[in-house]
Amino acid sequence: MIPFSVLDLSPIVKGATAADAFRNTLALARHAEQLGYHRFWLAEHHNNPGIASAATAVVIGHVAGGTQTIRVGSGGVMLPNHSPLVIAEQFGTLASLYPGRIDLGLGRAPGTDQLTARALRRDGANNADTFPRDVEELQAYFEPVEPGQKIRAVPGAGLKVPLWLLGSSLFGAQLAAVLGLPFAFASHFAPDMLMQALDLYRSGFRPSAQLAKPYAMVVANVVAAETDEAARYQLTSVQQAMTNLLRGTPGLMPPPIDDMESYWSPAEKAGAQRMLRYAVAGSPTTVEGQLQRFIEDTRADELMVTTHIYDPAIARRSLEITAEVRDRLKERNQHRV
């Protein structure tokens, strides 16, 4: 059975603060570690009142320092917002503090609106068009220093921090294949090109020093509860958040509601449901069946779940149920063999 991992957005819920979000993120990471999840990733977003992980490397350090064994990383760092050298130094620092536990996932989008993106990079010299070159520059900073090399990452040089490429379209899949890097597809909010991207990645993959064969991770929203009804109720927080994004009014993560139909218009419902095509919400039996199909359909090497739930205790319980599902799937597949 493939590994299960966790993507956390460090949500700021209504009635709480960023400090609360960071405490909840660490508690969730510790719980994930105890439950045997493989990785715990955080994502870079900016100017979103409901997401606290803008300074992604700082939050990764917070989580890695509060856990023992689970891999911690970025899903991802939005490289167009930064110089490759700065990211090499940040993740070289993390890899020095927590050796063998740090992942560096890289995205090409800004993780925000265009006005905020300009505020992040005032000179405008670095953008998505330079992304392939910037990835290769970043890779080079993690290699041993060459004779005569004028610029080096300190710390970072020689640490070979594992890179991942993230994508929600075909570009990231193709670049990951050419560079021989593991690839993660953001199917939890941008599902349309998932299958095509995976095919392109696998068919075009070239072995590299980091990776001998393709390694693809897919992401799904998973809300697991004791009953289908309870899970669908918790899912309304995500559905509201997606609707707010479609309206251009992102905000604090809302509590679940009883009646989504009165919240969204028919057009908003269609848009949110399209974005949440790979949202799995239900009882253990329901989650097991849907995750089994998702894994079989994608032939994924790893599954990352994001559990965007308003109540932190309910989020931790959802991870417990999902881990139980993982273990049952593993046992079933062993019996098949």
Query: What pLDDT, on a 0 to 100 scale, did the predictor assign at position 242?
Result: 95
Query: What pLDDT, on a 0 to 100 scale, did the predictor assign at position 111?
Result: 59
Residue 9, both tokens: 């957005």
The 10s digit of each residue's pLDDT in 19-55 is 999 999 999 999 999 999 999 999 999 989 999 999 9
- Cis amide linkage into residue 207, ω under 30° from 0: no
Query: What pLDDT, on a 0 to 100 scale, did the predictor assign at position 211?
Result: 97
Strands (DSSP E) along the chain, which ranges? 4-8, 39-42, 71-78, 102-107, 163-167, 183-185, 216-224, 279-282, 302-306
Residue 232 has pLDDT above 80, yes or no: yes
Q: What is the mean pLDDT of residues 251-276?
A: 96
Q: What is the mean pLDDT of residues 249-264?
A: 96
Predicted confidence band at 96 (pLDDT cuts at 50, 70, 90)?
Answer: very high
**Interatomic CA distance for residues 77 and 159, integer angstroms:** 18
The length of the chain in residues reads: 337
**Interatomic CA distance for residues 62 and 79, integer angstroms:** 21
**Interatomic CA distance for residues 171 and 79, integer angstroms:** 15
Choices 3.10.105.10, 3.20.20.30, 3.30.230.70, 3.30.43.10: CATH for 4-234+278-336:
3.20.20.30
Domain boundaries, the chain: 4-234+278-336
Angle, helices 18-34 vs 312-336, to 10°: value is: 30
Residue 125 has pLDDT above 80, yes or no: no
Give the contacts of 17 (CB within 8 A, at least 6 positions apart): none
Give the type of residue at 31.
H
* CA nearest neighbour of 190 among 74, 81, 271: 271
Query: What pLDDT, on a 0 to 100 scale, did the predictor assign at position 333?
Result: 77
Residue 186 has pLDDT above 90, yes or no: yes
- 3-17, 111-125, 168-182, 226-240: least confidently modelled range: 111-125
The 10s digit of each residue's pLDDT in 272-329 is 999 999 999 999 999 999 999 999 999 999 999 999 999 999 999 999 999 999 999 9
Query: What pLDDT, on a 0 to 100 scale, did the predictor assign at position 154?
Result: 96
Query: What pLDDT, on a 0 to 100 scale, did the predictor assign at position 336?
Result: 64
Give the type of residue at 141.
Y
> How far from 26 is each of 32, 243, 307, 324, 336, CA to CA, in Å?
10, 28, 14, 21, 37
Q: What angle do CA 297, 301, 304 make, to 5 degrees?
A: 85
Query: What pLDDT, on a 0 to 100 scale, did the predictor assign at position 122?
Result: 55
The 10s digit of each residue's pLDDT in 101-110 is 999 999 997 6
Query: What pLDDT, on a 0 to 100 scale, did the predictor assign at position 337?
Result: 54
Query: What pLDDT, on a 0 to 100 scale, did the predictor assign at position 128?
Result: 59
Residue 39, both tokens: 């990785």
Dihedral sign of CA atoms 36, 1, 163, 81 in order: negative
* CA nearest neighbour of 322 among 304, 297, 300: 304
**Interatomic CA distance for residues 239 and 141, integer angstroms:** 41
Mean pLDDT of the chain: 94
Residue 268 has pLDDT above 60, yes or no: yes
Query: What pLDDT, on a 0 to 100 scale, did the predictor assign at position 117?
Result: 72
Query: What pLDDT, on a 0 to 100 scale, did the predictor assign at position 230?
Result: 98
Residue 112 has pLDDT above 70, yes or no: no
Query: What pLDDT, on a 0 to 100 scale, did the predictor assign at position 113?
Result: 73
Q: What is the mean pLDDT of residues 188-193?
A: 93
